[in-house]
Amino acid sequence: MYGKLDTLNRAIRLFRDTGNPIVYVYFDGDGHGTEGVERPDDLIDGLIGPVDGDRIVHKRYMNSFRGTDLDRVLEDTGCDGVVLAGLVARFCVLSTYFGVFDHDLRPYILSGGVASTVESHIGNVEAICNVTTVDEIRSNIHFSAASPSNR
């Protein structure tokens, strides 16, 4: 998990440095081995957490759009694309990835930024989805244009 955690934290720092929005999605339901855990996302020790200005969405279903205001949150930020990272690749991440299309946004999976209880499932998810890396995000003119140092 260390490599994945490093990738997630690099992406979070890049988004913050360039003024791009970050949305943390917390799974408040039972399942995937989190039964009885009050805040399952707190299990990821070392992940850079939310700060003032970040958005937080709480969900109870795999698809982060179902039963939440994520669509409004993304609309308010002016996003036209979404980079997804986190747990669990074949459940929540993949379900949300396909849900992104229903909101006229472009989804990407952060390569090296998703985890699964079965490691081979990560490769399966990345094989069928649009994938991006932290370096590709950094070199994207639309993304980097938000950076004060690139104006």
pLDDT digits (tens, 9 = 90+) for 49-75: 899 999 999 999 999 999 999 999 999
CATH code of the region 2-145: 3.40.50.850
What band does 39 get if pLDDT is binned at 50, 70 and 90? Answer: low
What integer pLDDT is reported at residue 47 of this predicted model? Answer: 87
Q: Name the band, by pLDDT with cuts 50, 70 and 90, for residue 149.
A: very low
Q: What is the pLDDT of residue 28?
A: 81
In the predicted model, is pLDDT for residue 146 greater than 60?
Answer: no
Residue of 36 and 130 predicted with greater confidence: 130
Domain boundaries, the chain: 2-145
Measured CA angle at 105 (ends 108, 66), to 5 deg: 90
Task: Note the pLDDT of residue 41.
Answer: 53
